């Protein structure tokens, strides 16, 4: 019984420290730091995103074979009002690539990418992907907001409140809301 009690105290302490250290405007790419809302320059909704260097001269990231097994659509991206997209993928490279504006889009569809990967697996795929890039600066606008925001997020897991977000996009309130930071 004492071990459970100690464990519970430890978990409460860790949770408390995590909550204290969360800064509403701290969007450093740390896990669960925030969500991204963006608008594309073109129609890239069904195309494969890759990562480019900050200098936009070198391919640095792309989906690997494990991504291909579950990649059927951009499942963490939801189309919102007025042609905005909400990226709910808050961990790892996709989130950071968009936020830092180092993502690029290819003219490769997701289904085509699966076939390319089957043929290219074990080989250097970078040249193939680099030759198919159609836009190294695909975002017209990028906004980020915290999962801790109780207006834009809801529930125990702080999921985006799509109805409220769409309402605020349509009224223009989203773009001036204090919990939203424009990064591009």
pLDDT tens per residue, range 142-170: 998 887 888 888 887 788 899 999 999 99
Average pLDDT in the chain: 75
Structural domain spans, the chain: 2-182
User: How far is Cα 155 from Cα 54, in angstroms, rounded to an integer?
Assistant: 36
Per the structure block, which two tokens stand in for 16? Answer: 């408390």
Q: Report DSSP letters for 114-148, one per residue.
A: HHHHHHHTTS--HHHHHHTEEESS-EEEEEEE-TT
pLDDT tens digits, 89-105: 654 556 677 777 788 89
Decide: 116 and 128 in contact? Cβ < 8 Å: yes
Q: b vs e for 32-52, b when ≥16 Cβ sit within 10 Å of the residue's Cβ?
A: ebbbbbbbbeeebeebbbbbb
Instruction: Give the Å distances, CA to CA, from 95 to 120, 128, 176, 178.
Output: 26, 23, 22, 21
């Amino acid at each position: 019984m004492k071990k459970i009690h100690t464990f519970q105290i430890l978990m409460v302490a860790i949770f408390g420290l995590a909550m204290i250290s969360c800064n509403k405007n701290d969007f450093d790419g740390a896990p669960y730091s925030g969500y991204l809302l963006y608008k594309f320059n073109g129609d890239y909704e069904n195309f494969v995103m890759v990562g480019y260097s900050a200098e936009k001269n070198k391919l640095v990231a792309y989906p690997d074979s494990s991504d291909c097994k579950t990649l059927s659509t951009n499942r963490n991206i939801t189309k919102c009002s007025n042609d905005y997209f909400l990226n709910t993928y808050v961990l790892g490279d996709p989130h950071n690539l968009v936020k830092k504006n180092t993502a690029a889009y290819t003219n490769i569809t997701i289904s085509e990418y699966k076939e390319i990967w089957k043929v290219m697996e074990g080989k250097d795929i970078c040249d193939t992907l680099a030759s198919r890039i159609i836009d190294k600066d695909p975002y017209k606008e990028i906004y980020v907001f915290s999962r801790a925001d109780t207006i834009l997020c809801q529930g125990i897991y702080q999921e985006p409140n799509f109805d409220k977000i769409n309402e605020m996009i349509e009224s223009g309130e989203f773009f001036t809301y204090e919990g939203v930071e424009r990064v591009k």
